[in-house]
Structure 1
Amino acid sequence: MVFVVFVVLAVPTVGVAMLASPAWGMPSPLPTPSPAAVLASGTVNMFPPPGTVAASPRTNITLRPVTPTSLGTVGVSGSRSGPHSGTVRWSSDGTAAMWVPDAPFAPGETVTVRSDLAVRGASGGESKFTIERIPPTPKPPPSPPASKNLPSGDTQHFITRPDLEPPRLRVVTPPRGTAPGEVFLTPNGSDVQQGPLIVDNDGNVVWDHPLRIGHALDFAVQSYEGKPVLTWFQGTVSPLGFGSGSYVIVDQSYQQIALVAAGNGYFGDVHEFQLTPQNNALFTIYNPVVVDASSVGRSKHQTVLDAIVQEVDVPTGVVLFEWHSLGTIALTESYQPAPKDSTQPYDYVHPNSIGSDSDGNLLVSGRHTFATYKLDRATGALYWRLGGKKNNFVMGSRTSFAWQHDVRNLGGSLFSVFDNGASDAIKTHKSSRGIVLRVNEATRSATLEEQFALPKPILATSQGDFERLANGDYFTGWGSQPEYTEFNPAGHVVFDVKLPVVNANTKLNSYRTYRFEWHGVPRDPPVVVAGASGAGMAVSVSWNGATDVATWQVLGGTGPDALRVLGSQPRKGFETTIMTSSSTPYVAVQAMDASGRVLATSPVVSPS
């Protein structure tokens, strides 16, 4: 696999197609069959669901809810490969059985599953789905403009941690009454170190975790097994903007406690990774398959990216849920032009967020269809489309969104959307913005409650997020634009920071940028470097990931077991240098919290 460096293109002023803002008129009829009808058709869900048109040749078959006593006999056969044998794996709660075939299925064949269970969507005790057709190897896409190296002045350097070289951030609007917490981002572009990064409001590093290989995206604080954790995608990123990798979960001491992989022969994608209260994980998958694209004027053997939502049981890896866009969302619903080369993947949906509605069902954002989809949590059946060519709602003034990201339910009928308003090639709006919509499902209408945009228009042609904070503020990462902003509820900018820009073709960016409260307690001790300075010493200290250090206390003495206090200094940024008036052959530093409690002591070192 090729490891790709993000190169973000500046929004051109010439040669960019202009697409009028969607003027959605009368709403389309609601999708059929309705989720209620699907639920009434049985008591057990199967994944891939009956009727799936592009399942993986390496797919397993999940049945839930079932128990070991109710599962009974399951027979599986392929129309080309014949009968299949397999084994059963159970989810950690014992309510989902995943039948694992001993051999893969054949591309293009129909798989029949026979069971005495009342499977939703089955007919006469049989459930059928189709295996995908495998696409040919595509031609390499055109190379993006050459990335430039980040100037040394835009990179931070530390005496104690020369291995860390995070970008230098420029605070444009100092924080004024912002919400508590640190900023979480994944800088990409140029030759910047790739990896999760936590910084404070001054742009100082709190935790930096450069990767040896690959990219990290969607770096967030979540809860797993009732405790706060950090999560991120780690893997490769295609020039087309989707990923191939897995998901890392680390605890408050920054130790990895789980690595989550997609099931059924797929690879996880960069755009979303959500942990549920049941210790399950929801994420996006982009899977290339061959379909008939004549409906959009392209080949009958066109490579298309099937947008997949999958849920797995983190402890066991058992697949609990799987939804495919193909068979539900037509190619004609996309606003993204289809490539003329049939081997180039047509990314017709581009799913980029998964969230829960107030009733527990799923919300999936499709960037290239200008739509959000509400899916039944149990079956994957489609309730409605908000936006797009088959929009099911009456859209009020200024509610139209395009090329959007990060659709979330804020509680009740309120939804937030990061409205990009542009792609690299097509401009739909004059400025990107964050919007809050009131979506009334009873009247099938949507109205604009609030919108947040910078005073000077900015267009994020890709990526981005819009997050409501606990104090009512909204935090916005501007995606492809090297900036993040916090707005107060009145819409005023109370915090704004910019990442380095090398030139028009190379801007640092972060797929999403969040604000979270985080309490980190590293397992590794503080790092100290001491050197002579006149009659005394310059003692530099850092502790990567520590969030509770208020003061550093320097110890020195004639032996490693004979240390006394030489001085102290409040923590200042990631690395603090303390000057002492005297020199000793042995030095250590203690990290102390605001109450004076010693959190950790560094190893004893000798000044150089």
Structure 2
Amino acid sequence: MFLLLTLSLLWIQSDPVTVLFNFPVKESKPVSANWPVVIRFSDPVSPEKLTIRLTGRDNRQISHSLRFSTDRKSVNLIPKVSYQDGEEVSILISGPGINELTWTFTGREGAPSLSTFYPVTISSESPESRITESKENRIRQINGVSIPADFPEMVISQTGPTDSGYVFTNNWSTVGETPYLIIMKNDGTPVYYRRMKEYSRDFKVQRPGLLSYFEPWAFYTMDSTYQDLKKYEPGNGASTDEHEFLVRPDNRVLMIAKYHHEVDMSTIVPGGNTKATVLENYIVELDEAGVTTFLWRSEDHFNLTDCYGISLTGSYIDYVHMNSISIDQDGHLIISSRHLNEITKIRYPQGDLIWRLGGRNNQFSFTNDVDRFTYQHYAQPTGPNRYLLFDNGNLHSVTASRAVEYQLDTTAMTAYKVWYYRHNPLLYSWFMGSAQRLPNGNTFISWAVDELPKITEVTPAGQVVYQMNFATPAHNYRSFRMKWKGQAVKPYVLGEINSSGSNLIFNLFGEKPVSFYRIYSGNTPTSLSLLDSTDGSSYLIKKLPGNAFYYFSVEGVWTDGSVSLRSEPLRLAVRNLVPGENMLFNGDFSADTYPWKLDTWDGAVASAMSLNGEALIQIGLGGPNTWSVEFKQADFSLEAGHTYRLSFDAWSNLKRTMEPIVGKAASPWTNYSGIGFIQIGTVRKNYSYTFKMPAFSEPNARLVFACGISSADVFLDNVVLKDITYVSVNDVTTPESFRVLGSYPNPFNPTTSVQVFLPAPGIVSVKMYDSIGKMMHDSDVSFSASGNQTIPITANGWSSGLYIVRLSYHSTHLSVPVILVK
């Protein structure tokens, strides 16, 4: 299928050089100029002796540039102009003393990608300048390692000897918890952790001294000092697929690319969409310079009609869904394609298919496994022609997941199930998951999804010896047990606030024992001076005036007397708060609006100023959405289970609506307060709202006044947010006030109830919002008696996640968080 060429050019060596691989080939489906022409030779070539021409329709010369790999064995032809739809493109290779050599492929219209796609060297990011609020007024620790309040709590059981190595995992929350990359011991003691901005995954060892992880939308490598090295993206107009990333010993990397193009599906299936968007998967191999050394395209080998469970008449078709690449013991590639129910072996580097296991094009007889596997993940070789995979089992008659291992006979073409493990009770991971064979023969299984165990380690006999889950339901894609040795060269520092004050948390991760730490502070990142020292791994800031921002840096001193590098400066608000005090800075706008911030979106026009000790938000154009104009303050946190009260004065030059939101200051922008839209008029009025946090803390919170749509100005004053959990009940409510008594069950599926106290008969307005503020339910419940009452809640057909129940009784508004877990 692929063109094998022998050239007699003046190469670096005199022997003929063979073309091992070229993309595209004549049999390829139409190719756009987004993708380079890739040629891989058996031996290094001399660029100055090589002539290559690219010719299109009517002898049109297609201008291009050439890029050679660092080993001089691969060359990329990068078009500078688009191909024409359907044109035959010829590639000609020539050199002194040989006959010209050419082949053709069909072009597809599409602008070439002019952006660079080299791996980009990046510096390690500064620690997040956000704060968390710890429980019990102290910094949490696990066996002497200080951790922030939003670090995921784990439930761990060990009932037998595990294999050696650390546990590599991550949490990807479905209800708004902060994501972390984690290396830990069996008992949960962190060896390393990093707070991430967005959900991250596939944190693993590539080889001694080299880690990798995914954070939308790229893969990153990290060295043994926990410093980021490079960022990897496939380029060529494609996006990074989050499922797989491998680093070869020579530093070439393998990754999956996602590429969308339009297909007239009516020519393939009856009723097909004439302009369907089809997602293709590419396997991309890049060298250290970013040159493509191998390129493999699903469309050239798999038919659109090979998939299972995917509508071929819809507008979007993800027909392959490749989710793993592994290198077989003979050097060829093993891939898993979820939507094909197929494991495929690809000859490397030629690119043709060696065999296909499972799916519509299955070439093997499953001798003892009538279920086969469906919607599987993470296919890995465990011996010659032997493969372990995580079988999600979506299409089984009984929907249960398992780890399963097959021995293939590639002569008789049989697949024999040699081992499998199903959990008792049965578990069903409808997506994600992995199964890793450990050196001692145990299998390390990640069930990945929601409330299922993140890790189960079992012996060959199926005995469970280790299990871990997060206390709050969360995904994690894959978990691993891997050997690793790392030593940080500077402390990892985070900030945290509790009712005792502002704290620094720092860890100099590694095996070298630390004698003590030095803490530096200043008003700017470049004016830091020694503040204090401590032999602990956290520090309560008492030596600086409160209610101000400072910068902090920490260095560690090891027991041998050597000194680490200093951490990047961390900006932190020093708040000397006690319960009941205002958590916000400058809520009375006495001099200016700092540190409040005004953001405009969607073409909105607005400005903010302090006028006579009041905040004036002047809106020239309100924009199309409420969030088109946002006046906000961040850098505070909300503690699990605590009750908060937001109050403020607001008015306008015209009657209008706006929405106050106390919520997460990052995606998914969870709205914890659930206040909804309020009407403000031309007369100054005080507004007050109470809400209770769910069973997890929010380390990265903000207060937003969403003032878009209307062009009427907004005035604000006396903005106060207080933690009233520990304030005397007489300061919050009286026994005769409308109040929430609790909710049960919580989490729930699909029904729960909220208990309230009514001081008199009346009507309670019940509204429910999802985590992004979309109203999901609106009703009024009438009660003919006072006292304790129950409000039933049903969430049939809703997605798992956090919801806010907003209760209104006369002029009192209360919020209750509930978590739906399916």
TM-score by length of 1: 0.72
Cα offset for 1:602? Answer: 9.6
1:131 and 2:104 are equivalent in the alignment: no
Equivalences for residues 138-217 of structure 1 within 5 A: 158=140, 165-171=150-156, 173-174=157-158, 176-188=160-172, 189-212=174-197, 214-217=198-201
> Could you say what secondary structure the match of 2:239 adopts?
coil
> Could you say what secondary structure the match of 2:171 adopts?
coil
TM-score by length of 2: 0.54
| Partner Cα distance (1:266, 1:337) in 2 | 22
Which letter maps to 2:161?
A: G
| Partner Cα distance (1:83, 1:555) in 2 | 65
CA, structure 1 residues 205+447, in 2 after alignment: closer, same or farther (shift >3 Å)?
same
Q: Which has the higher contact order (CA 8 A, sep 6+)?
A: 1
Question: Does the CA-based 8 Å contact 2:82-2:109 persist in structure 1?
Answer: no
CA distances 1:284-334 after superposition (whole Å, capped 9, x unpaired): 122112224343432344221112111111x21000111111131112211
Cα offset for 1:164? Answer: 7.0
Cα offset for 1:549? Answer: 5.1
Question: Does the CA-based 8 Å contact 1:114-1:125 persist in structure 2?
Answer: yes
Which of 27, 36, 42 is 1:51 aligned to?
Answer: 27
Which of 62, 69, 88 is 2:38 aligned to?
Answer: 62
1:105 and 2:83 are equivalent in the alignment: yes
1:543 and 2:543 are equivalent in the alignment: no
Question: Does the CA-based 8 Å contact 1:520-1:547 persist in structure 2?
Answer: yes
Which letter maps to 2:178?
A: Q
CA, structure 1 residues 369+602, in 2 after alignment: closer, same or farther (shift >3 Å)?
closer
For 1:456, the equivalent position in structure 2 comes to 425
> Could you say what secondary structure the match of 1:247 adopts?
strand
CA, structure 1 residues 396+554, in 2 after alignment: closer, same or farther (shift >3 Å)?
same
Which of 297, 317, 342 is 1:324 aligned to?
Answer: 297
CA distances 1:383-410 after superposition (whole Å, capped 9, x unpaired): 1111111101111212611100000111
Which letter maps to 1:291?
A: V
Which of 286, 289, 310 is 1:312 aligned to?
Answer: 286
| Partner Cα distance (2:181, 2:59) in 1 | 45
1:514 and 2:495 are equivalent in the alignment: no
Question: Does the CA-based 8 Å contact 1:418-1:465 persist in structure 2?
Answer: yes
| Partner Cα distance (1:292, 1:548) in 2 | 59
| Partner Cα distance (2:409, 2:538) in 1 | 53
| Partner Cα distance (2:351, 2:470) in 1 | 40
Cα offset for 1:349? Answer: 1.0
Question: Does the CA-based 8 Å contact 1:472-1:488 persist in structure 2?
Answer: yes
Cα offset for 1:178? Answer: 1.0
| Partner Cα distance (2:555, 2:259) in 1 | 52
For 1:584, the equivalent position in structure 2 comes to none
| Partner Cα distance (2:26, 2:209) in 1 | 37
For 1:240, the equivalent position in structure 2 comes to none
Give 1 or 2: higher strand fraction: 2
Cα offset for 1:234? Answer: 2.1
| Partner Cα distance (1:126, 1:554) in 2 | 65
Cα offset for 1:450? Answer: 0.7
Query: Whose radius of gyration is greater, 1 or 2?
Result: 2
1:234 and 2:215 are equivalent in the alignment: yes
Question: Does the CA-based 8 Å contact 1:110-1:131 persist in structure 2?
Answer: no
- With 194-203 and 393-402 compared, the bigger mean Cα shift is at 194-203
Question: Does the CA-based 8 Å contact 2:238-2:257 persist in structure 1?
Answer: yes
For 1:484, the equivalent position in structure 2 comes to 455
Structure 1: gaps spanning 5 or more residues: 1-32, 118-122, 135-149, 236-244, 502-506, 531-538, 570-574, 579-587
- With 102-111 and 260-269 compared, the bigger mean Cα shift is at 102-111
- With 175-184 and 359-368 compared, the bigger mean Cα shift is at 175-184
1:93 and 2:71 are equivalent in the alignment: yes
Which letter maps to 1:322?
A: L
Cα offset for 1:110? Answer: 4.1
| Partner Cα distance (2:435, 2:109) in 1 | 35
**How many residue pairs were aligned?**
497
- Aligned residues: percent identity? 25
Regions of 4+ moved over 6 Å: 150-153, 159-164, 526-530, 553-556, 588-592, 601-604
For 2:414, the equivalent position in structure 1 comes to 445
Which letter maps to 2:72?
A: G
| Partner Cα distance (2:224, 2:433) in 1 | 26
Structure 2: gaps spanning 5 or more residues: 8-17, 112-131, 497-502, 520-528, 541-553, 568-575, 577-822
Which letter maps to 2:298?
A: S
CA distances 1:262-292 after superposition (whole Å, capped 9, x unpaired): 1433222100001112211111122112224
CA, structure 1 residues 114+460, in 2 after alignment: closer, same or farther (shift >3 Å)?
same
Equivalences for residues 309-388 of structure 1 within 5 A: 309-313=283-287, 315-338=288-311, 340-342=313-315, 345-388=316-359
For 1:494, the equivalent position in structure 2 comes to 465
For 1:504, the equivalent position in structure 2 comes to none
Which letter maps to 1:476?
A: I
For 2:360, the equivalent position in structure 1 comes to 389
Cα offset for 1:457? Answer: 0.3
| Partner Cα distance (1:347, 1:279) in 2 | 30
Which letter maps to 2:26?
A: P
